[in-house]
C-alpha cells in the first residue's frame, strides 16, 4: 500500500481518488474550495457536460456507472435553430442508440465525491496546494505539510502542480492560449408541469457566424443555455452593457429562445463571464513521483465535449499501465506520458476545429451537405466507414488516430460533394471506391482492427 496525494477534487481528482482507493492505497484528496455538497444546490445553473464513451468506459472500470446513470439525460443529435426559426436536426450517431449523455458538472462531481468518501478516501476541503517537493515526497496544503509516495495534480487549468513541475524541469514548457470568445451560462426553466419546452433529446444550437447560443437538457425539464460570444466587437460581450442591449441582441439573433427564457436579461448580469482556452504541457510526469491529469495536463475548449472525457481517459490509461507494469511507477508514468499526451494534443486541436465548425459552419449549406453525405455513407457502408465524430465520441480509438482518420475522410467528402447540391445526388459507387482506396488502407496501416473503428461504445453502457 502506498500513500497517494491528489491535488484538486474536481471531476478527475475525485474519480482518481476513488480508483486509487479501490486499488488498496491510502488516499488523501485536497481541494482548495469548500465542500460543494454543503453549499446550496445550484439546480440547472451549473455547466452541463456531455459524457461519452471515454468517461463511460472509465466509470465502468471503477464500478460506478450505475450511480452516474441516475443523473444523465440522453441526447441523440444536434438541433439547429436558424435566424428565421427553422429547425434542422442532425443525428449524432449511426442510429438513435448512439447518443451522448448530458450531465450537470456539479451533480457529477457530488456523485464522485460521495463515491470516493464511501470507499474511504480522506477528503480535505479548503486546503490549497502551496508548494510541492517531489524528491522529498512532501507537499504543502493550506500551511500544513503532508508526505506522499505518489502525487497526482488534478488541480485544473491553472494547476499549481504544473507550475511546480515547470520549476523542476526547466527544459519543459507549457503553452496557454485563450480564444477570442468567452462564455456565459443562462437558464431555460422547465414548463409548469416540469416538462421540457424544446426537444429534450437534442443539443440545441443557434449558430450565428462568430457567436452562438447552445442548450443542453437537465434532469427535471430545464435546459442550461450557454452563450459563446467574442469578447470584443459589434456582437461581443463588451457591447452588451445594459438590459436593453441584451434584450435587443436576443431579439435580433436568438428570438426563438426568448419565449422560454423569462429572465435572460437579468441572469445575463448575475452570471459570470468565463474564459476559454487551451493549455498544453510538454511533459506530464516527473520521474516516478508526479503525474498531471485532467485539465491540469490538457485544458481544451469545450466544442467537442471532450475535456472531462479526456480526463477520465487519462485515469483509464493510468490504470491500464498499472495493470501492465504492476505499479512499477517509472514505467507507468513513462507509458502514460508517451501514449496519452499526444492524444491530449489531438483532442485539443480537434476541439479548436469544432469551435469554427459550430459557430460558422453549422449554418452553411455546403457544410450541412457534407455532414448529410457522411451520415449517408456511414449508414450505407457500416462495415467499413466510421465518421471521425463517432470515433471520438463512441469508441476508444486514440484521439490522435481519429484526428489522422479525419484528414482522410475530409478528402473523401470533399470529392463526394463536388458538383452535387443534395444528398440524394450522391454517387454511391464513387463513395465506396473512395472508401476502399483511401479509408480502408489507412485503417490497415494504423494497426488497429477495423472492428474497433466500427464499434459503438455508448449503447453497451446506457440504454
Ligand atoms: C462551458 C464548458 C462546457 C464544457 N463541456 C464539456 C463537455 O460537454 N464534455 C466534457 O467532457 N467536458 C466539457 N467541459 C470540460 C470539463 O468541464 C473539464 O474538462 C473538467 O471539468 C476538468 O476536470 P478536472 O477535474 O481536470 O478540473 P476542474 O474541474 O477544473 O477541477 C480542478 C479542481 O482543483 C481545484 N484546485 C485548483 N487549484 C488547486 C490548488 N492549488 N490546490 C487544491 N485544489 C485546487 C479546483 O478548485 C477544482 O475543484 C466543458 C467546460 C466548459 C467550461
Could you please report the per-residue DSSP string of 85-141?
Answer: S-EEEEESSSSTTS-EEEEEHHHHHHHHHHHHHHHT-EEE-S--EEEEETTTTEEEE
The pLDDT tens digits for 393-451 are 999 999 999 999 999 999 999 999 999 999 999 999 999 999 999 999 999 998 888 88
Ligand 1 binding pocket includes 406 (Cβ within 6 Å): no
**Ligand 1: centre distance to CA 256 (Å):** 31
Which atom of ligand 1 has the smallest separation from the CA of 310? 11
C-alpha cell at 431: 463513395
The pLDDT tens digits for 218-272 are 999 999 999 999 999 999 999 999 999 999 999 999 999 999 999 999 999 999 9
pTM of this prediction?
0.95
Confidence (pLDDT) at 356? 80
Ligand 1 site-directed mutation target among 161, 181, 302, most atoms within 8 Å of CB: 302
**Ligand 1: centre distance to CA 10 (Å):** 6
Work out whether the CA dihedral 375, 380, 382, 386 comes out positive or negative. Answer: negative
- Express as a percent the part of the chain with pLDDT over 90: 85
When pLDDT is cut at 50, 70 and 90, the band that residue 43 belongs to is very low
Confidence (pLDDT) at 195? 96
Confidence (pLDDT) at 457? 54
The span from the CA of 8 to the CA of 125, in Å, is 9
**Ligand 1: centre distance to CA 278 (Å):** 13
Residue 460 clears pLDDT 70, i.e. is over it: no
Domains, the chain, ordered by start = 3-42+105-175+279-355 (3.50.50.60), 364-461 (no CATH)
**Ligand 1: centre distance to CA 109 (Å):** 10
The pLDDT tens digits for 47-102 are 899 999 999 999 999 999 999 999 999 999 999 999 999 998 988 877 777 889 99
The span from the CA of 138 to the CA of 146, in Å, is 6
Ligand 1 binding pocket includes 309 (Cβ within 6 Å): yes
Q: State mean pLDDT over 159-173.
A: 98
Ligand 1 binding pocket includes 306 (Cβ within 6 Å): yes
Q: State mean pLDDT over 374-382.
A: 92
The span from the CA of 226 to the CA of 34, in Å, is 26
**Ligand 1: centre distance to CA 383 (Å):** 37
Ligand 1 site-directed mutation target among 6, 9, 10, most atoms within 8 Å of CB: 10
Q: What SS3 state is found at 182?
A: strand
- CA-nearest residue for atom 9, ligand 1, is 305
When pLDDT is cut at 50, 70 and 90, the band that residue 123 belongs to is very high
Ligand 1 binding pocket includes 32 (Cβ within 6 Å): yes
Confidence (pLDDT) at 448? 87
Neighbouring-strand partners of residue 150: 4
Residue 41 clears pLDDT 60, i.e. is over it: no
- Express as a percent the part of the chain with pLDDT over 70: 95
The pLDDT tens digits for 233-244 are 999 999 999 999
Q: What is the mean pLDDT of the chain?
A: 93
Q: Is the separation of the CB atoms in 456 and 93 below 8 Å?
A: yes
Confidence (pLDDT) at 254? 97
Residues sharing a CB contact under 8 Å with residue 430, sequence separation 6 or more, in sequence order = 415, 416
- Give the strands of the sheet with 129-133, arranged side by side: 129-133, 138-141, 144-147
The pLDDT tens digits for 286-317 are 999 999 999 999 999 999 999 999 999 999 99
Amino acid at each position: 500500500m502506498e500513500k497517494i496525494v491528489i491535488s484538486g477534487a474536481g471531476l478527475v481528482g475525485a474519480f482518481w481518488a476513488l480508483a486509487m482507493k479501490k486499488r488498496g492505497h491510502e488516499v488523501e484528496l485536497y481541494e482548495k474550495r469548500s465542500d460543494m455538497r454543503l453549499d446550496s444546490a445550484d439546480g440547472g445553473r451549473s455547466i452541463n457536460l456531455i459524457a461519452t464513451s471515454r468517461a463511460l468506459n472509465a466509470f465502468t472500470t471503477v464500478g460506478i456507472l450505475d450511480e452516474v446513470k441516475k443523473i444523465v439525460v440522453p441526447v441523440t443529435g444536434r438541433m439547429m435553430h436558424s435566424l428565421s426559426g427553422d429547425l434542422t436536426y442532425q443525428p449524432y450517431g449511426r442510429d438513435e442508440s448512439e447518443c451522448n449523455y448530458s450531465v450537470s458538472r456539479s451533480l457529477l462531481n457530488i456523485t464522485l465525491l460521495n463515491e470516493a468518501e464511501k470507499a474511504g478516501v480522506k477528503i480535505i476541503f479548503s486546503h490549497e496546494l502551496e508548494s510541492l517537493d517531489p524528491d522529498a515526497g512532501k507537499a504543502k496544503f493550506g500551511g500544513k505539510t503532508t508526505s506522499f509516495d505518489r502525487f497526482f495534480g488534478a488541480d485544473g487549468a491553472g494547476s499549481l502542480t504544473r507550475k511546480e513541475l515547470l520549476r523542476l524541469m526547466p527544459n519543459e514548457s507549457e503553452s496557454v492560449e485563450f480564444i477570442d470568445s468567452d462564455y456565459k451560462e443562462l437558464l431555460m426553466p422547465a414548463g409548469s408541469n416540469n416538462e421540457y419546452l424544446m426537444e429534450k433529446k437534442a443539443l440545441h444550437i443557434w449558430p450565428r457566424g462568430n457567436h452562438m447560443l447552445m442548450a443542453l437538457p437537465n434532469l427535471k425539464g430545464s435546459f442550461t443555455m450557454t452563450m459563446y460570444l467574442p469578447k470584443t466587437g459589434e456582437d461581443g460581450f463588451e457591447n452588451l452593457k445594459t438590459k436593453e442591449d441584451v434584450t435587443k441582441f436576443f431579439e435580433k439573433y436568438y428570438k426563438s429562445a426568448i419565449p422560454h427564457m423569462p429572465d435572460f436579461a437579468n441572469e445575463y448580469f448575475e452570471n459570470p463571464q468565463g474564459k476559454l482556452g487551451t493549455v498544453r504541457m510538454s511533459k506530464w510526469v516527473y520521474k516516478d513521483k508526479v503525474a498531471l491529469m485532467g485539465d491540469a495536463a490538457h485544458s481544451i475548449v469545450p466544442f467537442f465535449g471532450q475535456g472531462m472525457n479526456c480526463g477520465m481517459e487519462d485515469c483509464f490509461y493510468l490504470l491500464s499501465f498499472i495493470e501492465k507494469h504492476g505499479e512499477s511507477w517509472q514505467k507507468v508514468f513513462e507509458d502514460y506520458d508517451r501514449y496519452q499526451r499526444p492524444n491530449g494534443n489531438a483532442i485539443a486541436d480537434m476541439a479548436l476545429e469544432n469551435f469554427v465548425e459550430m459557430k460558422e459552419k453549422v449554418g452553411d449549406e455546403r457544410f450541412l451537405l457534407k455532414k448529410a453525405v457522411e451520415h449517408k455513407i456511414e449508414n450505407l457502408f457500416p462495415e467499413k466507414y466510421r465518421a471521425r465524430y463517432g470515433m471520438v465520441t463512441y469508441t476508444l480509438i486514440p484521439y490522435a488516430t481519429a484526428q489522422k482518420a479525419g484528414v482522410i475522410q475530409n478528402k473523401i467528402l470533399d470529392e463526394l460533394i463536388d458538383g452535387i447540391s443534395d444528398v440524394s445526388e450522391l454517387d454511391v459507387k464513387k463513395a465506396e471506391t473512395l472508401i476502399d482506396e483511401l479509408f480502408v488502407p489507412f485503417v490497415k496501416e494504423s494497426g488497429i482492427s477495423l472492428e474497433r473503428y466500427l464499434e459503438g461504445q455508448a449503447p453497451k453502457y446506457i440504454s
